[in-house]
Amino acid sequence: MTTAPPRPSGSQPPHGLRDFYEDPAVPVASGAPRSLRQARMLAAALGPATSGARTVIDIGCGDGSAAATAAPLLAGHRIVGVDWSQDALRRAHAHLPYAVRGELTDGGLPFRSASADAVLFSEVVEHLVDPDAALDEIHRILRPGGHLMLSTPNLAAWYNRALLLAGVQPVFSEVSLRAIHGRPGKEVVGHLRLYTARALREFVTASGFEVVRLRGAPFHGVPRPMRPLDRLVCAVPSLSSILLLHARRT
């Protein structure tokens, strides 16, 4: 996943962030287990295409791998990928028939109001300078009753609680775009904001959505010996590695 960090209208993009997200070495995809769980939630919400094809907008589609994972479960529905990074879009075309460049501010996304039936917003919100403006734009393009499928790392994941008690920077949090400092892990991915389950629910509700369901998903970066426990903890979303939220536009 990558997408443009929203900025005040008329201002120039911060070159550091633009260069960061256009760097081919920056990860633009998340783990398959999260994508598959989210796709199943969306397929259940939309129902089969026999009752009518729906339009799904994958905002921050990255290399298109998440949409490719979802496609078999969304057969007959239209999936359109959107990303800010030209490099990501070049890779996305290998997985998506439709992938366009778009931003969440400065004119908004290239879609009419109330034109989408569902929005996939996977591992994007944690990268944004102005997440409020992003949710406003998603609210605009969704039809009333349309579905928002949002996923994001959990600040209060079970291992982060232990790390904080030990005085260690939580996983997923970053203090620099140049290197990892004070926490486990090796990849810098540009996280600017992190949410707990409670904070995510309140944030989405305040943005004009009704939360339908919150589930947990495992994190592909958890060390192999700990992965069975990470999958088990998904039964308690507030402790899980990844938060999967299904909401509807009010």
Query: Which structure tokens are listed for 48?
Result: 């089969």
pLDDT at residue number 241: 97
In the predicted structure, residue 212 carries a pLDDT above the cut 60: yes
Per-residue pLDDT reduced to its tens digit, 63-101: 998 888 999 999 999 999 999 888 889 999 988 989 999
The pLDDT assigned to 88 comes to 87
Separation between Cα atoms, residue 247 and residue 244, nearest integer Å: 10
The angle at the Cα of 42, spanning 37 to 47, to the nearest 5 degrees, equals 130
Residue 13, judged by CB atoms within 10 A of its CB (0-12, 13-18, 19+), counts as middle
pLDDT tens digits, 104-144: 877 789 999 999 999 999 999 999 999 999 999 999 999 99
Percent of the chain exceeding pLDDT 70 equals: 88
User: Cα separation of 174 and 191, whole Å?
Assistant: 6
Residue whose structure tokens are 């009419």? 112
Overall average pLDDT of the 184-208 stretch:
95
CB 105 within 8 A of CB 135: no
The helix or strand, by DSSP H or E, that contains position 118, with its residue range, turns out to be strand 116-122
Instruction: Report percent pLDDT > 90 for the chain.
Output: 74
**Angular region, 108: left φ>0, alpha ψ -120 to 50, beta rest:** left
51 CB contacts (<8 Å, ≥6 apart)?
none
pLDDT of residue 24: 60
Residue 10 has pLDDT above 60, yes or no: no
Q: pLDDT band at residue 157, thresholds of 50, 70 and 90?
A: very high
- Number of C-beta neighbours around residue 167 at 10 A: 7
Please check whether residue 75 is in contact with residue 54, taking contact to mean a CB–CB distance below 8 angstroms: no
Question: What pLDDT, on the 0 to 100 scale, is given for residue 84?
Answer: 87
Question: Mean pLDDT, to the nearest integer, of 22-37?
Answer: 70
